[in-house]
Chains A and B, each alone.
Chain A
Amino acid sequence: DQQVKQNSPSLSVQEGRISILNCDYTNSMFDYFLWYKKYPAEGPTFLISISSIKDKNEDGRFTVFLNKSAKHLSLHIVPSQPGDSAVYFCAASAYTGNQFYFGTGTSLTVIP
């Protein structure tokens, strides 16, 4: 059973607009979350993280929001650029474990 879900397999956004990628999780023990970006034929690369003590973390154009009560996190990209076109994975872990659980990914296309 998928503990981390990304219900949108794909998303298209115009260049300059905001991209919002969503992720839901079921395990209330999860308290550390990551977003990874993956280009074709490459491995995923770390993008941004957030721990459960925060509800927001920003890094340049990327902001991750965490809503613990809803077990939901989102990644906002503002403004979106064509180079952001990739597959985005969210991942979650509990501090007590060594394992990250990944979502199925959302393929983002930024249209010039």
Chain B
Amino acid sequence: NAGVTQTPKFRVLKTGQSMTLLCAQDMNHEYMYWYRQDPGMGLRLIHYSVGEGTTAKGEVPDGYNVSRLKKQNFLLGLESAAPSQTSVYFCASSLSEYGYTFGSGTRLTVV
């Protein structure tokens, strides 16, 4: 009963490095989302997907790219990490537009 699994859980990057965060869900959900959580800012939507092969921009998409090649996976990429991307990243999935199931988060530090 995994739900939504995010890997890695922690990562430290140097400025300019690239990395990919993986989100996997085993609930056959159509919708998947990437959020970032920053102090005093709440959760902000980066990108989302309404089905396999689709992606769309959210509130704060700059500096990130995403791919949804398989229904169960949603990848978030940082091509050239910046200190402003230090955050906790949450992936979520849902059967419809409502009622998200969140992963446990990835804490990313960019130095």
A residues near B, CB below 8 A? 2, 4, 6, 32, 34, 36, 41-46, 49, 89, 91, 93, 98-105
Give Cα A23–Cα B1 distance, bound, in whole angstroms.
33
Q: Map CB proximity to A onto B29-68 as digits: 1 under 8 Å, 0 otherwise.
A: 0010001000011111100101000001011000000000
B74 contacts which chain A residues (CB < 8 A)? none
- Report the minimal beta-carbon distance from B37 to chain A, rounded to whole angstroms: 8
Give Cα A2–Cα B40 distance, bound, in whole angstroms.
10
The count of chain B contact residues (Cβ–Cβ below 8 Å) is 25
B residues near A, CB below 8 A? 4, 31, 35, 40-45, 48, 50, 56, 58-59, 90, 92, 97-105
A105 contacts which chain B residues (CB < 8 A)? 42
Which residue of chain B has its CB nearest to the CB of A4? B42
- Report the minimal beta-carbon distance from A24 to chain B, rounded to whole angstroms: 13
Instruction: Check B90 against A89 for contact (C-beta < 8 Å).
Output: no
Give Cα A32–Cα B56 distance, bound, in whole angstroms.
21
Instruction: Check B40 against A99 for contact (C-beta < 8 Å).
Output: no
Instruction: Check B40 against A104 for contact (C-beta < 8 Å).
Output: yes
Listed from nearest, the 8 A-B pairs whose CB atoms lie closest are A43-B102, A102-B43, A102-B42, A104-B42, A43-B104, A44-B102, A43-B103, A103-B42
